[in-house]
Homo-oligomer: A and B are copies of this chain.
Amino acid sequence: MRDVSIVGIGQTPVGEHWEKPLRILGSEAVLFALNHAGLDRTEALYVGNMLSGQLSRQQNLGALIADHAGMRGIEAIKVEAACASGAAALRMAYIAVAGGIHDIVVACGVEKMTDSLSNRTSSALATAADALYEGDHGLTFVALNALLMQRYLHEYGYQRADFAGFSINAHHNAVHNPNAMFRRAISVGSFERAPMIASPVSLLDSSGIGDGAAAVVLMPTEMARTHGLRGVRIAGSAVATDSVALHDRRDPMFLRACALSTQRALAQASLRPEHIDFFELHDAFTIMAALSLEACGFAKKGEGVRMAMEDEISLVGKLPVCTMGGLKARGHPVGATGLYQAVEAVQQLLGLAGENQLQGCRVGMTQNIGGSGANAITHIFERID
């Protein structure tokens, strides 16, 4: 296997892109990323997307976006793993370059969620759950996360307000991210006053619904060096799965797929959790942030939320998370999110994170979660000196 680097990144702002169909959003991100790398072509394109068939009545985004990016003819395929579709596209691109099948590959994630009646979006998102045991009975994704959060509060004795730190940190970090959807800080007070969606999950525990696309260009590290391209190594890449239905897990408070994929990615990178300088985690809901920190080995069981309470996750904390706003405030266009995370990790490691730049960071981790932990895709990125 070859060592692989990301040599180009591209993203559109996350927001309500009423004027741009999927093909335009996606091809913009692809062309931004290629342009950033100084390239004008790719051998293959893997597109992460979850909802286009349901919300835009458009499948086959691989061919569609390749064509609209001016690259008709190339290999192009869409991959889907619910909300982890973006990282799944990155994973496929990594496999193709690491394995020597292609030298230059673009992974793109794109999602358009606002261009639809909102109840259709919630209903489409529920297809990430188990249709027979959850979705068909009316459980939305907010409801599933509410069940998890309620259990967490009960099991470990926390209050709703203890989760505020996750959202406050995310919103704080989004203020200086020009591509973030919610560029305003929030206070403990506004978190506490936020309207309830599905108790105990409030509006400010939840990531919003938005449109967006992000992309990265992959190349063998050796080739990047030969071409004088500045890149970031992919030191680890791993996928793991769990049951789709929540009720079918021995312990719903333990995200086994997150644990497994983190262990695999760390083993590939020959690293331990303490080597991770920052973590772009999957804070679709605050409870997911807490459970992810625990499963990945950054906090003990039942203590993930303490990292937010004790301010360990801020830009100057022990483990900065969601450094550009995370899913909560940068936004969560589901199939694109995994690639926004990768783009932001590269920004930090190349010193391109502007006001949010972490000093001296060398290793960043991203984790994209599908469903309520049905799959987790973890990548570890390392600065090249």
| Nearest-neighbor residue (CB-CB) of A125 within chain B | B59
Inter-chain contact B82/A60, CB cutoff 8 Å? yes
Contacting residues, chain B, for A382 (C-beta < 8 A): none
Contacting residues, chain B, for A40 (C-beta < 8 A): none
| Nearest-neighbor residue (CB-CB) of A243 within chain B | B67
Let me know if A357 is at the binding interface, CB within 8 A. Answer: no
A: number of interface residues (CB 8 Å): 63
Inter-chain contact B77/A79, CB cutoff 8 Å? yes
Inter-chain contact A130/B240, CB cutoff 8 Å? no
Q: Give CA–CA (A99, B220) in the complex, Å.
A: 13
Let me know if A313 is at the binding interface, CB within 8 A. Answer: no
| Nearest-neighbor residue (CB-CB) of A136 within chain B | B57
Query: Which chain A residues in 201-260 approach chain B with CB under 8 Å?
Result: 238-244, 248, 256-257, 260
7 A-B pairs with CB atoms under 8 Å apart are A50-B59, A62-B80, A62-B241, A73-B260, A77-B80, A78-B81, A99-B101
A interface residue numbers (CB < 8 A to B): 1, 21, 44, 50-54, 56-60, 62-64, 66-67, 72-82, 88, 91-92, 95-96, 98-101, 123-124, 126-128, 130-132, 135-136, 238-244, 248, 256-257, 260, 370-371, 374-375
Given A44-B239, A57-B127, A62-B80; 16 other pairs, CB 8 A cutoff:
A1-B101, A57-B123, A57-B136, A59-B80, A60-B127, A60-B128, A60-B370, A63-B244, A72-B243, A75-B239, A77-B79, A78-B79, A78-B80, A79-B79, A92-B95, A95-B95
